[in-house]
Copies of this chain bind each other. A is one copy, B any other.
Amino acid sequence: MPVYHIVLFKLKQGVKPEQIAQMSTLAKGMVGQIPGLRKLDFGGPLPVTAGRGKGYDMGIVAILDKPDDVTVYAQHPAHQE
């Protein structure tokens, strides 16, 4: 049973666009490195819903093959970098 692993972030003040781009590249780059990690998307909220995000302005949606893969994902070196 595939699993959505959703992580919401509150970016620190002053984070630069190029830092966000690097985070996105690193995050998406985990696909293919971490067993069970099928797909990963990284991005901010749409303007139409940003106001209801309770301050969370960045998010990851990872799709993993099965619940046990969440632990594999969390402990993997590529994730811990």
The answer to whether A71 has its CB under 8 Å from any CB of chain B is yes
A1-31 vs B, Cβ < 8 Å mask (1 yes, 0 no): 0011110000000000000000000000000
Cα–Cα, bound, A3→B50 (Å): 14
Cα–Cα, bound, A70→B50 (Å): 12
Instruction: From known contacts A4-B41, A41-B4, infer whether A71 and B59 are also in contact, taking CB-CB under 8 Å.
Output: no
Q: Which partner residue on chain B sits nearest A64 by CB separation?
A: B46
Q: Given contacts A4-B61, A49-B70, could you give 12 more A-B pairs where the C-beta distance is less than 8 Å?
A: A3-B46, A4-B41, A5-B49, A6-B6, A6-B59, A6-B61, A46-B67, A46-B70, A48-B67, A48-B70, A48-B71, A61-B61
